[in-house]
């Protein structure tokens, strides 16, 4: 009975984590560049006490949360401040909430009131020196394939072009990335970000959507609910079996 109850309770705990990941994905399905979260498989272990293996098995998820690196759908917007990476790669950002620089695929850019180039979430886009990019008033703005930004200044002569900075990108070869508690993507164990290598091909006037498949997430949510009900029935059955066994062991009444 003990084994049955602990197995069901551990399964419920794992289902809770999967449900949180699914809810997070559905809530961010329309966020540009969002990377789908999923629950890592982890591994099971058995408690050992005084050299004897216990009957209760536990499952522990991997330490680092996992996310999908599959590219999202590329939408042609023809907006000069919408950018995307053609395939692999990451932009460097400085989160609005603070903390160390991070990596992102979000490309819905805007020039904030302080003149800094930011994403729709308020995160500052960084240049090759990992510094925020400041954009003065302009008539037009172009971004080439390696991320170099050039503008026609508002107070300049007609046709004059000024090169501002190059948006830092990286393919992050060999880097093991994870999402932190702030939702930002960085290397595991607090390791430093890889140096910009400008390996990503930047597209202007294109916006990458999230890689969340809403149909798949809804089906997963239904499966989670069914498994939850199954585990609850197992716990109820264990209770009934325990009560039945207790009645069998009672002394007969006079």
Q: What is the pLDDT of residues 55-95, one digit of tens each?
A: 555 555 555 668 998 999 999 999 999 999 998 999 999 99
Cα(160)–Cα(140) distance, integer angstroms = 10
CB-side neighbour CA atoms (13 Å) of 103: 26
Task: Give the C-alpha separation, 14 to 17, whole Å.
Answer: 5
**Residue the block writes with tokens 């029935």:** 233
Check residue 231 and give its pLDDT. Answer: 85
- Whether residue 8 is predicted with pLDDT greater than 90 in this model: the reply is no
Residue 187 CA to residue 49 CA, distance in Å, equals: 36
* pLDDT at position 84: 96
pLDDT at 57: 55
DSSP state of 158: T
| 104: CB partners within 8 A, 6+ apart | 33, 90, 91, 92, 93, 119, 123, 184, 185
Are the CB atoms for 140 and 156 separated by under 8 Å? no
E strand or H helix at 201, and its extent?
none
What's the predicted TM-score (pTM) here?
Answer: 0.80
d(CA 53, CA 51): 7
Residue 56 is predicted with a pLDDT of 57
Residue pair 115/154 in contact (Cβ under 8 Å)? The answer is no
The answer to whether the CB of 35 falls within 8 A of the CB of 68 is yes
């Amino acid at each position: 009975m003990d084994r049955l109850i602990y197995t069901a309770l551990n399964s419920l705990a794992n289902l809770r984590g999967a449900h949180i990941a699914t809810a997070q994905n559905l809530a961010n399905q329309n966020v540009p560049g969002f990377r789908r979260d999923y629950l890592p498989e982890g591994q099971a272990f058995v408690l050992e006490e005084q050299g004897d293996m216990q009957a209760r098995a536990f499952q522990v998820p991997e330490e680092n949360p996992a996310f999908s690196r599959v590219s999202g759908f590329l939408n042609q917007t023809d907006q000069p401040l919408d950018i995307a990476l053609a395939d692999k790669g990451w932009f460097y950002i400085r989160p609005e909430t603070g903390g160390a620089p991070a990596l992102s695929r979000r490309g819905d850019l805007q020039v904030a009131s302080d003149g800094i180039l930011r994403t729709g979430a308020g995160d500052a886009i960084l240049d090759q020196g990992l510094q925020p990019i400041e954009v003065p008033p302009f008539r037009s703005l172009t971004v080439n394939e390696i991320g170099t930004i050039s503008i026609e200044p508002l107070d300049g002569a007609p046709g004059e072009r000024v090169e501002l900075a190059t948006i830092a990108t990286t393919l992050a070869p060999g880097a093991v990335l994870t999402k932190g508690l702030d939702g930002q993507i960085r290397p595991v164990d607090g390791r430093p970000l890889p140096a910009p290598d400008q390996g990503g091909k930047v597209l202007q006037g294109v916006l990458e959507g999230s890689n969340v498949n809403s149909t798949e997430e809804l089906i997963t949510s239904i499966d989670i609910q069914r498994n939850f009900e199954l585990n609850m029935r197992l716990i109820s059955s264990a209770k009934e079996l325990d009560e039945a066994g207790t009645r069998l062991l009672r002394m007969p009444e006079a």
